[in-house]
Structure 1
Amino acid sequence: MRSMDKTGPERFSTPIALDRDLFMRRLIASLGHLNEGILGSDLTGAYIMNVGLSMGAAIEEEYKRFWAIDRSLTLDEYAHVIVDLKQKIQGNFSLVSKDAQKVVVRTTSCPFDTLVRQSPSLCFMTSSVFGGIAARNFGYAKVVLHQRIALGDPGCYVTIHLQRTPEAVAALGKEYVPDLNRASPDIAEQLHLMEQVQRLRKQLGETTSRWEEVMQEAAEAIGAFDLDGCVTYANARWRDLVGVEGEEVVGNIFEQLVDAEDQAGIHQLLAQAAQGKRVSGHQFRLRHRTGSLRTLRMSVGAIRDDRGHIVGTLGIVRDITHEREAQRLKDELLTTTSHELRTPVTTIRGLTQVLLRGLEQGHVPSPEVLAQRLQLIQRETDRLARLSTDLTDVTKLQTDALPLRREHFDARSMVEELVTGRREALLKDRRWTLSLNLSEHPLPVWGDRSRLEQVLDNLLDNAIKYSPDGGAITVDTQQQGDKVQISITDSGIGIPEPDIPQMFTPFFRASNASTYHFPGIGLGLYLCQSIVHAHGGTITVTSQEGQGATFLLSLPDASQQPVEEEA
């Protein structure tokens, strides 16, 4: 089938070799088995109509093949078929008019000559040819013979309705729709085969459409490769992996999309699949258009043709970047938590053993030494308690079960009480100075006071811990539009710029924190952010390494909250 319609004068040139003698021979061959005694009966008319429908289908296909089209005929094309075919069989038809609803044709002679007067049902032959073509291309056809040479009229006047209009319904005539139940056996078989072909084509189209839909919506990236490793098919999921649509991936050598260190492994993987081996779980890295690397797991198998020959490979790829990161964080959590637990436990056990050994030997330490050792045990116990609380809270956050007991309170007074308590705790160590700048007016907040105190305690702990040489720590509270803002600024080691975007990621710790050997497992800021977000607020950090850091909390002003929220 040619891909484009013909245009210009040659469009309506003669497409088929059909003359009057050939037409008559076809007719005689189709009617030869009928007894001449029933040539004028309804049975003969029905049979002739079915012969015309079958012939019309064949003629229509010849015209379409010649014009190189695989769609329905247009009105002009259909009108041309009528006039062209009638002239070829000496019907001498002329086109009177045509529009979207009907085509009107007139003739002064009949291709069947005197035969048509002997068997008027022969009129059904040509009318069913054109009615059948119209029904297939316009969805409906009704042929009305207003004048008939077979009945002694001076000419023939025919209207072919193309739409089921009131005029068509009211007119006398025959609707031309292939009827398998009424068709004679040989014609019924032809029509049945035609119907089967159309149904199979439709089913194939639906199956192809469903397959394509499944492939495009699949959770995994699916790709097909030829034996040279060139991508011949890629579904939509590849956009997430490489940053471009699957169609853009097609035509690339897959090995070249992979990270350079993993290309040899992919080459070997596809080679194994091309030999008929199935390989599952191969891990490699693929570079996204942004430059980031994705860790993937791929399973491959051979694609075979209908003779069993391997013609390519099929790969199903799953992005496991997040899984790998989660596993890395889990491993890091276990390692860090183990270390964090070991330090206080070792300290507590060592001090306890010293005290017990002294009591067993009758050596009672002085009150000052005993108090110092008990305070150290208490500090390490508090550290264990905080670690246990953090781990419990993280578990609750993962299941969205962190409870909030909301109430109305003044954030300004909450901050003032916390800072006052911290100042008293820092009296013995004068390395740090703690300043407080309070807003002039109360700062109403609707939230869980104990959880917000937990956030501020954590931030103050960090300000002190990450200022090992001491320095100024400043706490500010203010009203900023419809937000209550609390900031904590220290003059400690600061945060390296590349680390700032990840500071609120679970288990992440700034690179300089490890350098200074500060204790911690990287959950504090993650918990702070989660609690603040649960209150509808935000928490941000600004810092320069070596020049301290500022953490800023923004919470909704409770005076802007609807009254019913307090219930």
Structure 2
Amino acid sequence: MPSAPDPAAAPAPPTPPPRRRRRAATALEAQKHAFLRLVSHELRTPLNSILGFSEILSAELYGPLGAPQYKEYADIIRGSGKKLLRLVNQVLEIGRLEGLELDVGPEALEPAFESAISSAASDFVRGVAPRVVAHGELPLVLADPWGLRTVLAHLLQNAAMFAPDDGEVRLRTEVSPGHVDVFVEDDGEGVDPADLPRLMLPFEQGQNALVRRVEGAGLGLPICELTCRAMGARLQLTCAPGKGLTARVRLKTAA
């Protein structure tokens, strides 16, 4: 009786040549970006109508709505639409930043601080307030204007969400030879240091999804990480339970 063929002796399937693998990876990446653009467009179009008409209803632009509950419901629809639009923009931003290199040049930090605080203003609720710690004259740093403001705004938003009621979010700097460190600090509950690598992954948060008290998809910190990488900066998180979270952005100084 003939013996069964040995599976280990069977020839392995041929490995695609490196050039073919690169082409396949490039095509897959192009498909992913095309999908993100399509989904973003298809979601933004109806969201613009939801936001626009709910704002008209909330403002009672064409006359009173009648029962006061209608105005409250319009406000809820508008707020939910804004949250969904932010999520769509963040998902698109994640896909666009992967592998991207930004053009950097000399940038002043003070205007970037003001712009980022203004962008994050709607996230400072529950009595939480931002504070720029006094500093001396700051040197110009190498950064992309959009990238620098995006990173600072996301870090401020993240800190504002996790700060305690009536708490404070501090934005401070330290200047060293060759670089400037920008710190964004909150006085929240903090997280376990072992969880810090996980916070850099998309759709992860610092609290258990079943018990966390803040909303969000967990995309802010990954966007900051990718943006810093794209403009040659470095992002580092440090924390301790009960002592809040500190985000440090290290930027090279302009020659």
Q: What interval of TM-score do these two structures reach, taking the shorter chain for normalisation? A: 0.5 to 0.7
Q: Is the 8 A contact 1:535 1:555 kept in 2?
A: no
Deviation string 1:302-340 (CA, Å, 9 cap, x unpaired) is: xxxxx94248541879xxxxxxxxxxxxxxxxxxxxxxx
- When residues 375 and 407 of structure 1 are mapped into structure 2, their CA distance, relative to the original with a 3 A threshold, is farther
- When residues 312 and 417 of structure 1 are mapped into structure 2, their CA distance, relative to the original with a 3 A threshold, is closer
Q: Which amino acid aligns with 1:411?
A: L
State how far apart, in whole Å, the 2-side matches of 1:426 and 1:387 are: 15
Q: Which amino acid aligns with 2:193?
A: E
- When residues 502 and 311 of structure 1 are mapped into structure 2, their CA distance, relative to the original with a 3 A threshold, is same
Aligned to 1:415: 113
State how far apart, in whole Å, the 2-side matches of 1:517 and 1:388 are: 22
State how far apart, in whole Å, the 2-side matches of 1:416 and 1:478 are: 18
Deviation at 1:479, TM superposition (A): 1.1
Deviation at 1:528, TM superposition (A): 0.6
Aligned to 1:314: 8
Q: Which amino acid aligns with 2:200?
A: F
- When residues 391 and 422 of structure 1 are mapped into structure 2, their CA distance, relative to the original with a 3 A threshold, is closer
Deviation string 1:493-512 (CA, Å, 9 cap, x unpaired) is: 31223311222122322343
- When residues 558 and 513 of structure 1 are mapped into structure 2, their CA distance, relative to the original with a 3 A threshold, is farther
Aligned to 1:458: 154
State how far apart, in whole Å, the 2-side matches of 1:485 and 1:470 are: 26
Q: Which amino acid aligns with 2:83?
A: R
- 2:90 pairs, out of 379, 390, 402, with 390
- Tell me, which stretches of 5 or more residues in structure 2 are unaligned? 14-42
State how far apart, in whole Å, the 2-side matches of 1:505 and 1:552 are: 17
State how far apart, in whole Å, the 2-side matches of 1:506 and 1:465 are: 17
Q: Is the 8 A contact 1:474 1:490 kept in 2?
A: yes
State how far apart, in whole Å, the 2-side matches of 1:406 and 1:530 are: 15
Q: Is the 8 A contact 1:466 1:492 kept in 2?
A: yes
Q: Is the 8 A contact 1:470 1:492 kept in 2?
A: no
Aligned to 2:242: 546
Deviation at 1:361, TM superposition (A): 11
- Tell me, which stretches of 5 or more residues in structure 1 are unaligned? 1-306, 318-340, 560-567
| 1:201-216 paired onto structure 2 within 5 Å | none
Q: Is the 8 A contact 1:499 1:511 kept in 2?
A: no
Q: State whether structure 2 residue 215 is matched by structure 1 residue 515.
A: no
Q: Secondary structure at the match of 1:451?
A: helix
Q: Is the 8 A contact 1:496 1:511 kept in 2?
A: no
* TM-score where L is the length of structure 2: 0.68
Aligned to 2:188: 492
Q: Which amino acid aligns with 1:472?
A: E
- When residues 379 and 457 of structure 1 are mapped into structure 2, their CA distance, relative to the original with a 3 A threshold, is farther
State how far apart, in whole Å, the 2-side matches of 1:395 and 1:484 are: 28
Q: Secondary structure at the match of 1:439?
A: coil
- When residues 449 and 423 of structure 1 are mapped into structure 2, their CA distance, relative to the original with a 3 A threshold, is closer
Deviation at 1:490, TM superposition (A): 0.4
Deviation at 1:535, TM superposition (A): 1.4
Q: Which amino acid aligns with 1:314?
A: A
State how far apart, in whole Å, the 1-side matches of 2:62 and 2:123 are: 36
State how far apart, in whole Å, the 2-side matches of 1:360 and 1:444 are: 51
Deviation at 1:379, TM superposition (A): 4.0
Q: Which amino acid aligns with 2:145?
A: R
Deviation at 1:375, TM superposition (A): 6.0
Deviation at 1:383, TM superposition (A): 2.4
Q: Is the 8 A contact 2:112 2:148 kept in 1?
A: no
State how far apart, in whole Å, the 1-side matches of 2:242 and 2:170 are: 17
- 1:533 pairs, out of 229, 247, 255, with 229
Q: Is the 8 A contact 1:542 1:549 kept in 2?
A: yes
State how far apart, in whole Å, the 2-side matches of 1:456 and 1:376 are: 28
Q: Is the 8 A contact 1:431 1:471 kept in 2?
A: yes
Find the structure with the greater CA-based Rg.
1
State how far apart, in whole Å, the 2-side matches of 1:426 and 1:391 are: 19
State how far apart, in whole Å, the 2-side matches of 1:378 and 1:480 are: 45
Q: Is the 8 A contact 2:115 2:149 kept in 1?
A: no
Q: Which amino acid aligns with 1:469?
A: D
Q: Which amino acid aligns with 1:523?
A: L
Q: Secondary structure at the match of 1:463?
A: helix
Aligned to 1:446: 142
Deviation at 1:470, TM superposition (A): 3.8
State how far apart, in whole Å, the 2-side matches of 1:408 and 1:465 are: 31
Aligned to 1:473: 169
State how far apart, in whole Å, the 2-side matches of 1:423 and 1:523 are: 15
Report the aligned-residue RMSD: 3.9
Q: Secondary structure at the match of 2:214?
A: coil
Q: Which amino acid aligns with 1:556?
A: K
Deviation at 1:434, TM superposition (A): 2.1
Q: Secondary structure at the match of 1:509?
A: coil
Deviation at 1:410, TM superposition (A): 0.6
Q: Percent identity?
A: 23
Deviation at 1:487, TM superposition (A): 0.5
Deviation at 1:555, TM superposition (A): 1.1
| 1:119-268 paired onto structure 2 within 5 Å | none
Q: Secondary structure at the match of 2:112?
A: helix
Deviation string 1:67-126 (CA, Å, 9 cap, x unpaired) is: xxxxxxxxxxxxxxxxxxxxxxxxxxxxxxxxxxxxxxxxxxxxxxxxxxxxxxxxxxxx
State how far apart, in whole Å, the 1-side matches of 2:123 and 2:220 are: 21
Q: Which amino acid aligns with 2:218?
A: G
Deviation at 1:477, TM superposition (A): 1.5
Q: Secondary structure at the match of 2:157?
A: helix
Q: Is the 8 A contact 2:120 2:156 kept in 1?
A: no
State how far apart, in whole Å, the 1-side matches of 2:6 and 2:145 are: 64
Deviation at 1:394, TM superposition (A): 1.8
- The structure showing larger relative contact order (alpha-carbon pairs under 8 Å, at least 6 residues apart) is 2
Aligned to 1:277: none
Deviation string 1:170-211 (CA, Å, 9 cap, x unpaired) is: xxxxxxxxxxxxxxxxxxxxxxxxxxxxxxxxxxxxxxxxxx
Deviation at 1:468, TM superposition (A): 5.0
Q: Secondary structure at the match of 1:515?
A: coil
